[in-house]
């Protein structure tokens, strides 16, 4: 899957708190062949800029530096990548490098990479970065402004595309993971070892948009309450935090759901406070959406 690997590397870095704080990279940290964001030993750079360097410039130097700075080295960082892969259901994937350079035992499937992309674009910072055609970053010794351009050509030639990541090595061929948000529909396309990936993805989206439908997920919350201890009311109703839509290509799509609510909460409980969630499942039992439930109104303490 080549540098589409960096989807996971970037997501892990963001979830570990990548930010604008400047740190210094060493020659060991950035030692990697292939594409680069242009780092040199002794440069000051932020971990957030490294994420941008991974997602836009496909910097192998940025991926290796991220592993050292966030986890102390490549091996412990890769352990985090594989753990996360298992958590989100990537059953036929194993990471060996944070960059995606060829290595024995480094592999994935198109389906698994779609699972990863779906998870990654739920992170708003990740989505903001991978959907940018270019970004400003500051690094160097001393740092100065650079402009990184996104390798993902689809952002410019296919309306509605919002990411995600390109990849290429001689062994893997051209790899592309992309995502589209259009007409109320969310779609993901993945091709591995596809010489005409730009055209392939546009054709896939043309087809998917013609047959996909956006389903509004629903469950009855009329008799669902959170118990409140020490409040002016003994319970409070709950509502969805957001409208819930799911894009499907299945014309006979059906779903089930499970509701989870805290056993109780001490007053005060504020309107909009998260108090539970609803998990929606396909008929085959696969989790397709998890949505927060929030308090429908304020419940003040009896003590004022």
pLDDT (0 to 100) of residue 250 = 86
* 52 given a catalytic annotation: no
Count of domains in the chain? 2
In terms of domains, do 11 and 125 share one? yes
Three-state SS for the chain is CHHHHHHHHHHHHHHCCCCCCEEECCCCCCCCCCCCCCCCCCCEEEHHHHHHHHHCCCCHHHHHHHHHHHHCCHHHHHHHHHHHHHHCCCCCCECCCCCCCCCCCCECCHHHHHHHHHHHCCCHHHHHHHCCCEEEEEEECCEEEEEEECCCCHHHHCCCEEEEEEEEECCCEEEEEEEEEECCEEEEEEECCCCCHHHHHHHHHHHHHHHCEEEECCCCCCCCEEEEECECCCEEEEEECCCCEEEECCCCCCEEEEEEECCCEECCECCCCEEEEEEEEECCCCEEEEEEEEECCCECECCC
Q: Which of 92, 116, 151 is the last residue before a domain boundary? A: 151
CATH number at residue 245: 2.60.410.10
In terms of domains, do 7 and 139 share one? yes
Question: How high does pLDDT run on average in the chain?
Answer: 96
Range of the domain at 229: 225-295
In tens, the pLDDT along 181-240 reads: 999 899 999 999 999 999 999 999 999 999 999 899 999 999 999 999 999 999 999 999
* 258 given a catalytic annotation: no
Answer yes or no: is 166 within a domain: no
pLDDT (0 to 100) of residue 303 = 82
Average pLDDT over residues 61-77: 98
In tens, the pLDDT along 229-276 reads: 999 999 999 999 988 889 998 888 999 999 999 999 999 999 999 999
- Selecting among 6, 52, 165, 185, the annotated active-site residue is 6
In terms of domains, do 121 and 252 share one? no
Q: Which of 151, 173, 205 is the last residue before a domain boundary? A: 151
Q: Which of 119, 134, 151 is the last residue before a domain boundary? A: 151
Answer yes or no: is 236 within a domain: yes
- Selecting among 49, 58, 172, 178, the annotated active-site residue is 58
pLDDT (0 to 100) of residue 304 = 64
**Quick check: 61 pLDDT over 70?**
yes
In terms of domains, do 32 and 147 share one? yes
pLDDT (0 to 100) of residue 113 = 98
In terms of domains, do 147 and 231 share one? no
Answer yes or no: is 235 within a domain: yes
CATH number at residue 114: 3.40.710.10
Average pLDDT over residues 34-48: 98
* 3 given a catalytic annotation: yes
């Amino acid at each position: 899957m080549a540098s589409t690997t960096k989807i996971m590397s970037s997501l892990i870095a963001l979830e570990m708190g990548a930010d604008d704080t400047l740190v210094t990279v060493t020659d060991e940290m950035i030692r990697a062949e292939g594409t680069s964001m242009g780092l040199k030993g002794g440069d000051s750079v932020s971990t957030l800029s490294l994420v941008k360097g991974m997602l836009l410039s496909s910097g192998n130097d940025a991926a290796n530096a991220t592993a050292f700075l966030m986890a102390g080295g490549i091996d412990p960082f890769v352990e985090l990548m594989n753990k996360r892969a298992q958590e989100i259901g990537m059953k036929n994937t194993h990471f060996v490098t944070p960059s995606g350079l060829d290595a024995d035992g480094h592999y994935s499937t198109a389906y698994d990479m779609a699972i990863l992309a779906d998870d990654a674009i739920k992170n708003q910072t990740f989505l903001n970065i991978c959907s940018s055609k270019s970004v400003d970053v500051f690094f160097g010794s001393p740092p100065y402004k650079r402009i990184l351009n996104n390798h993902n050509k689809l952002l410019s030639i296919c309306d509605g595309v919002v990411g995600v990541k390109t990849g290429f090595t001689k062994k893997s061929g051209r790899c592309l993971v992309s995502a589209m948000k259009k007409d109320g529909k969310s779609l993901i396309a993945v091709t591995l070892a596809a010489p005409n990936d730009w055209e392939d993805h546009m054709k896939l989206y043309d087809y998917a948009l013609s047959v996909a439908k956006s389903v509004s997920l629903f469950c009855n919350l009329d008799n669902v309450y959170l118990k409140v201890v020490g409040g002016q009311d003994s319970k409070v109703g709950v509502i969805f935090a957001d409208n819930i839509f799911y894009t499907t290509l299945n014309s006979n799509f059906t779903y089930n759901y499970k509701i989870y609510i805290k056993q109780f909460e001490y007053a005060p409980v504020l309107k909009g406070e998260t108090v539970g969630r609803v998990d929606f499942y396909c008929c085959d039992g696969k989790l397709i959406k998890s949505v927060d439930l929030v308090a429908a109104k304020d419940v003040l303490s009896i003590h004022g």
